[in-house]
Chains A and B, each alone.
Chain A
Amino acid sequence: MLTQYTRFLDGVQRVIKVLEIILLAGITLIMVYQCMMRYIFQNAQPWCEELALYLSIYSIFLGIPIAVRRDNHLQVDFLLNFMSERTRYLISAISSVAAIIFMMVFCYYGLSLIQHATSASTTLPLKMKDIYYSFPIGAVLTILFSAEIAVTNFLKFLGKSPADSKREGV
């Protein structure tokens, strides 16, 4: 059951990886294009920066769940280093549950932001709510990934080490 769920998340992660590569490459090229158009061709393109910014917001919210899975988030760990391995598993499980609750609230208010959004982008044919969708998307993905970590660490805490499936290419 857990293995299947892990495999499902591996798939999700591969999709996110492709999207992230496209997003960051896109941001870089758009910014270079903007500078070229303005400086060499004297033809400023105001939509460039706004588009790059919105792409970066999506890139952030897609990156958060992966950072959760890899334990890449910034952390104060020097008290943790004094604790036993078992306690650390428990803390990690609890903090994943906290992440799930936080992200549920965040998702709920992200959705309410979408409902109340009326303004539109100034330079792009987009509504602001199109950008706000990144909030619930990121929150739901983070919940999915945190659930895996919560269960794995809780099992490790109980001494039932879950089967470590080798994950290639994620």
Chain B
Amino acid sequence: MNAGVIIFVLLLVLAFAGLPIYLSIGIATMVAMVHAGFPLEAVAQKTFLGMNSASLLCIPLFILAGNIMAQGITQKLIAAANVPLGRVRGSLASVTVLSSALFGAISGSAVATVAAVGGMTVPAMVKEGYDKNYSVACASCSSLLGPMIPPSISLVVYASLTETSIQKLFMATAVPAVFCAVCFLVYTLYYGYKMKLPKQPQTTTKEKLHILKDSIWALFMPIIVLGLIFGGICTVSEAAAISSLYAAIVGIFIYRTISLKNLMETLYETTISVAAIMILVGLSKASAYVVISSQLPSIFMGAMTSVVTSKFMVLLTINVIFLILGCLMEGNCIIVMMVPLMLSLVNSFGIDLIQFGILTCINIYIGCITPPVGVSLLVGTKIGNATVGGAFKACLPFLIIALVILLMVTYIPSFTLWLPSVLA
């Protein structure tokens, strides 16, 4: 049997039987290696190669920045987002969207976004009499903006597998992300108007200025991160480190919401969640090596091209595969599993790897809100004490917007590739 097939079958069986994914990938890879006669030393060697890449350094640093932000600084972002939006109907929902977008410019993960922003806005919305399911849906779906707006952990993982430029990927995702944020915002405004949701109390200009002044240090943060990366001033990892240090300084000395003890705990918690992601990235380098040398990608390509022949249909099929997997698995697992398999197919149809990266990642972000395994939706329902079914129904309008954006990314190459070509 083909070694690549062994990896896939074994990985799926073990993972669905309840083994942690890293263990499933590791065991599947070892068995396939023994079967194909590779020296097992390659597991350790390739894992090392998978981790020994300078671009991956930004993963712990961005997660750290997001975790530090979540302690008090996010609150300032929400207060600032309330200034322009407070007087519209259903403003808290729109504020959730805008705050998630701002938070997204620092954090690269959807779960972190829903926990940080939704954790504060969902209880507030429920208290003001918003529909519980709508509140949860709003926070869970807005969390897609977290990874969509650069930086994005998933794009970094994708870049490490395909050797594409992280900077270019971050630029390519910016236009669809802003477009998505605007669409979400318009929908929440419409919904608030239709359902006659309450407004926030009137504030004077003086109060508004005071809030903006108070939150200026928090608002600086997204500007710093994006400015440093897009301005070509420093590498992505350096920008991540600077934003972590900045968040720590602002949190400890200016807002005084973080104690030194909290900071230590945050550093520790970050390393643990990073370890869980990075062992997966490392081991997946070993499994990708076996999959690629097993000729499975070309067999997969042959099978696909015997059924579908046009680029249009190939892209559609890839999207469907990703969306189905997105319902069942965590996003980064899908990337490390499927991207090496699909690369030769994508190349043979002349699809740009930057565009393909954005396509892949938007698919898996959508997977964050599709049950049964939609991490953002699950976290959101836990915060709002809602049921997954009810909240998912309320998610549908957001989901449709996200799917339209996915189709635009899929079939309009300039939607993603225009900004990198201008800024390069």
Contact = CB atoms under 8 A, between A and B. Distances in A.
A17 interface: yes
Contact of B30 (A52, A62, A102): A102
Contacts of B332: 74
A57 B328 CA distance: 30
Contact of B48 (A56, A113, A116): A113
B234 interface: yes
Interface string B199-238: 0000000000000000000000000000000000111011
B251 interface: no
A135 B330 CA distance: 26
A144 interface: no
A34 interface: yes
B273 A72 contact: yes
B22 A24 contact: no
Contact of A72 (B244, B276, B328, B330): B276
Nearest to B283: A106
A163 interface: no
A78 B18 CA distance: 9
Contacts of A50: 54
Determine the interface band of chain B, counting residues with CB < 8 A from chain A: 35 or more
**B18, B30, B330, most chain A CB atoms within 10 A:** B18
Determine the interface band of chain A, counting residues with CB < 8 A from chain B: 35 or more
B267 A20 contact: yes
Contact of B64 (A24, A38, A49, A80): A24
Nearest to A73: B20
B277 to A, nearest CB: 8
B15 interface: yes
A29 B240 CA distance: 11
B27 interface: yes
B64 to A, nearest CB: 7
Contacts of A53: 52-54, 57
A21 B52 contact: no
Given A35-B242, A73-B276, A102-B23, A59 B60 contact: yes
B258 interface: no
Given A24-B64, A66-B272, A75-B18, 11 more contacts: A28-B61, A60-B274, A73-B20, A74-B21, A74-B276, A74-B332, A76-B330, A77-B18, A78-B328, A79-B16, A99-B23
Interface of A: 17, 20-21, 23-25, 27-32, 34-35, 38-39, 49-50, 52-53, 56-57, 59-64, 66-68, 70, 72-80, 88, 91-92, 95, 98-99, 102, 105-106, 109-110, 112-113, 116, 131-132, 135
17 contacts: A21-B268, A24-B60, A24-B64, A27-B61, A32-B245, A39-B233, A49-B57, A49-B237, A53-B52, A59-B274, A74-B276, A77-B373, A79-B17, A95-B20, A102-B26, A109-B43, A132-B44
Question: Nearest 6 A-B pairs (CB), nearest first?
Answer: A63-B275, A31-B241, A73-B20, A35-B238, A20-B271, A78-B372
